[in-house]
Structure 1
């Protein structure tokens, strides 16, 4: 019977290639406003799951969805300008 410890060591062993590169970290940093807006939208959606529909809830949801769209548009515009430069 094989020991599970050897498999665990192989899985959790540190390998430099497992770390994100500087370029990947930069892309994540550029996408952070979109990620944060999507998290905010998800928070609003979760908070509205167990409540009856209300005008305030509808506004909060619409505002969060608009924030996601604006962040995505800003990222797309930023990427488009980066390609042109």
Structure 2
């Protein structure tokens, strides 16, 4: 049985938009990581990943870690130094 979703009639609030804005660096970093992982998967069809492909993956992983750490430090007052 398929249920139909009700149309969304409300706009995001200023608080919703602020939350998205605060999380955006982490979201962008995760998208870059996903893109690097997809590149590695497709590289297998073309002789394997290159050194640059692996470097891109490592940098994307590091960026996600930094963004998550920064976001946690901003939102968790116990972790603020």
The interval holding the TM-score normalised by the smaller chain is: 0.7 to 0.9
Give the Å deviation of 1:15: 2.2
CA distance in 2 between counterparts of 1:61 and 1:15 reads 40
Say whether residues 1:35 and 2:27 are aligned partners.
yes
TM-score under structure 2 normalisation?
0.74
Compute the RMSD of aligned alpha carbons.
Answer: 2.5
Give the Å deviation of 1:11: 4.1
Where do residues 1-85 of structure 1 align in structure 2 (5 Å cutoff)? 11-12=6-7, 15-16=9-10, 19-51=11-43, 52-81=48-77
- For 1:5, the equivalent position in structure 2 comes to none
Secondary structure (helix, strand or coil) at the match of 1:50 reads helix
Give the Å deviation of 1:53: 3.2
TM-score under structure 1 normalisation?
0.71
Q: Runs ≥4 in structure 1, deviation > 3 angstroms?
A: none
Q: Which structure has the greater CA radius of gyration?
A: 1
- The count of corresponding residues between Structure 1 and Structure 2 is 73
- Structure 1 gaps, min length 5: 1-7
